[in-house]
Amino acid sequence: MSTYFPRLAAERPDIALCRASSAVARAGEAHATAQGLGVGQHLVLKMLAEVGPCSQQQLAVELRIDRSVMVNVCDDLEQSGYVRRERNPQDRRSYAVTLTEAGRDRLRLAEAVTPTFLDDAFAALTADERAQLTTLLGKLLARIT
């Protein structure tokens, strides 16, 4: 068993956070892929359900997904019938991505299995620690983004 990395993580929380983030992201993507919907796709469906039609640019900015990746995410969702692109009524030069009924159904399935994944991914933490981590990460993200 390695004894160096725990010492490094204690000294460098940035390194610890990066490694933990990568591990959770890999687990999340593997879980999502097994469910047939990538993490980015899930997030797009979730945002559209909550805020309504959005441009791809708005989705990319809000979800912190690279614009070139967002194009592929939306293409895949459109091919699956989960979203459709329509002329944006506020700006006829752009398109709004709109959630379809099939997309709402797919989102419900994805949301149903998310709590189990989160419980597994954060099993090392108590409920209070998990809430505290969520609060702390929110503070960090508010400051750096």
pTM score, whole prediction: 0.84
User: Which residue has 């503070």 as its token pair?
Assistant: 139
Q: Which domains does the chain have, with CATH numbers?
A: 38-144 (1.10.10.10)
**pLDDT tens-place string over residues 14-59:** 999 999 999 999 999 899 888 889 999 999 999 999 999 999 999 9
pLDDT the model gives residue 144: 79
Retrieve residue 139's tokens. Answer: 């503070």
- pLDDT tier for residue 145 given thresholds of 50, 70 and 90: low
**pLDDT tens-place string over residues 105-131:** 999 999 999 999 999 999 999 999 999
Question: CA nearest 85: which of 98, 94, 103?
Answer: 98
Tell me the residue type at 108: R
